[in-house]
Amino acid sequence: MAAFDSKTGSNLFSIGSERLALLGKHHKALMQGYLDGFVDETAFSDIALKKLINARILWRPDEQQPLALRPLVSELIASMVADENRRQINADVAEKLEQIRNRVQAYRDSQFKGDYSVAELQLQRLTEHVHDLSGQFEEAIDSLWHRLNSDFGFVSSLDDKIRENERAQKQLRRLLDGLDLLDFTELIELAEGNSHLRKLLVSQLQSQLSSHHSSLLEVQKRLIELLAKFRQQQSRSMLIANMAAFLRQHPKYHPADYANRSEVPNLLNQAVAIVPQAAIALDRSSERQLLAELVLSLPRSVNSSLPDQHSASFAVLIEDEAIAARQQALKLDVENFYLRVIDHGSSLSALDYLAQQQLAWNGEIWLYQIIAEYQALPVDEKQMFVMLRDEAPASAMNSLLLIQDISISLQAA
């Protein structure tokens, strides 16, 4: 089997080299045939023509028509010279996927039979199919970008630009539909735990297709912007063209002076009316009586906002007094706590005292107020007390120490 494959590869190598040499030898005549659409038979000898036809480079579509380049050769030249007018992007994803499925099955069959050399060859062919699939999308996206940067700038009219935009939109839609055909769930099932297949069919392909999706979204955004700009330019050009046609039909037409007309057409009367400003002329003594009558005739509105404002301020005042009373009560209870420490002389827990006295204060607020009162004491009085904090970390992963309780005792003499 290995000898057969080697012999086959040698034959393919010799045939491919010979036909590539034919392309290079007759490159000028073939390129001229690409530009003209037909090949001048007089530029070749009979032997050369026979070789080119047998090599599937030239063909005669009909007996009545001249020789021409085969479509695949023309497409190859169009792809190499970036001729977007003749270039046809083959994005038949369904066909490529079918080829990939067949190659995967052939690869697994060769591995099952133990033909590892054949399996290696099948894996190589599979890699070529996957790269070819991604490369076709990349070529199509490059074609779209080239159309954006060249065709739209050199067409003769806005209508041609809009038609080019619609063509590009249709091609972009076909590419997006082609990307939707790729089902990675199916590709994962095809890989079946094989590291080579999984890397080739899932990892690499998914990364490449994500890049293609991003590029297509950018192309679509640019196409929409261009189409909006073309439509705007088209509407303006149509307005100017219609106005020019009207002037040609009515050469004696002169626009009217609308500023001096009493009735302005609605089409031109778009400005908002100006409201003149007025003020009382207090310097005119002859009009004082009239101004006084006008002032007296003004309706007297009852200002209902004053009671509301008064009630709102009164409610705020009551709330502030309640807060101040609670703060004073809390401060008084803390002072009683310190007096209890002085009376007993021993260490006293803040939370135990809170529970014994059945005070309604929150434990955290109670501890905070005790610390605040301790910090507010004068230096000589603060030295009389010893404050011990019962601290514990917030959690096993957090070393922040939280105060659980406070004990106050008198300083030993």
Residue range 300-315, pLDDT digits in tens: 765 545 445 555 666 6
Residues 105 and 221 both lie in one domain = yes
Asked whether residue 280 is assigned to any structural domain, the reply reads no
Residues 107 and 244 both lie in one domain = yes
Plot region of 193 (φ>0 → left; ψ -120 to 50 → alpha; else → beta): left
pTM across the whole model: 0.42
Q: Which amino acid is at 151?
A: D
Asked whether residue 286 is assigned to any structural domain, the reply reads no
pLDDT of 153 higher than 60? no
Residues 83 and 93 both lie in one domain = no
pLDDT of residue 63: 66
- 21-25, 35-39, 90-94, 191-195: segment of lowest average pLDDT: 90-94
87 DSSP 8-state letter: -
Q: How many Å apart are CA 136 and CA 90, to the nearest integer?
A: 7
Asked whether residue 379 is assigned to any structural domain, the reply reads yes
pLDDT, one tens digit per residue, over 178-190 is 888 888 888 888 8
Asked whether residue 2 is assigned to any structural domain, the reply reads no
Residue 56's nearest CA partner among 72, 77, 37, 33 is 72
pLDDT, one tens digit per residue, over 304-343 is 454 455 556 666 677 778 888 888 888 888 888 888 888 8
Residues 48 and 126 both lie in one domain = no
Residue with the two structure tokens 């539909």: 177
Which of 87, 116, 135 is the endpoint of a domain?
87
Residues 179 and 53 both lie in one domain = no
Q: Which amino acid is at 289?
A: Q
Greater pLDDT, 362 or 259: 362
- 65-74, 109-118, 157-166: segment of lowest average pLDDT: 65-74
| Alpha-carbon separation of residue 353 from 103, 333, 335, 359, 381 (angstroms) | 83, 10, 12, 9, 22
pLDDT band at 148 (very low <50, low <70, confident <90, very high): confident
* 3-state DSSP assignment of residue 14: helix
- What tokens were used for 79? 């792809």
Helix/strand number for the chain, H first, E second: 16, 5
Q: How many Å apart are CA 219 and CA 118, to the nearest integer?
A: 42
DSSP-derived secondary structure for 345-375: -S-EEHHHHHHHTT--S-HHHHHHHHHHHHH
pLDDT of residue 312: 60
What range does the domain containing 116 cover?
89-253
Angle of CA points 384, 385, 387, to nearest 5°: 160
pLDDT, one tens digit per residue, over 51-62 is 888 887 887 765
Asked whether residue 373 is assigned to any structural domain, the reply reads yes
pLDDT of residue 86: 47
Residue with the two structure tokens 């230096």: 379
Residues 238 and 363 both lie in one domain = no
pLDDT of 4 higher than 50? no
Residues 110 and 200 both lie in one domain = yes
Q: How many Å apart are CA 215 and CA 265, to the nearest integer?
A: 50
Asked whether residue 258 is assigned to any structural domain, the reply reads no
The total domain count for the chain is: 3
Residues 97 and 76 both lie in one domain = no
Asked whether residue 292 is assigned to any structural domain, the reply reads no
Residues 332 and 389 both lie in one domain = yes
Greater pLDDT, 306 or 97: 97
Residues 96 and 75 both lie in one domain = no
Q: Which residue stretches of 250-276 are H helix?
A: none
86 DSSP 8-state letter: T
pLDDT of residue 52: 85
pLDDT of residue 306: 46
pLDDT band at 350 (very low <50, low <70, confident <90, very high): confident
Cα 239 versus chain centre, distance: 37
Which of 238, 253, 268 is the endpoint of a domain?
253
Residues 104 and 211 both lie in one domain = yes
Strand 58-59 to 385-395 pairing:
unpaired
Residues 201 and 325 both lie in one domain = no
Asked whether residue 83 is assigned to any structural domain, the reply reads yes
Beta bridge partners of residue 403, listed in sequence order? 391
> What CATH number is associated with residue 152?
1.20.58
- What tokens were used for 309? 């404002």
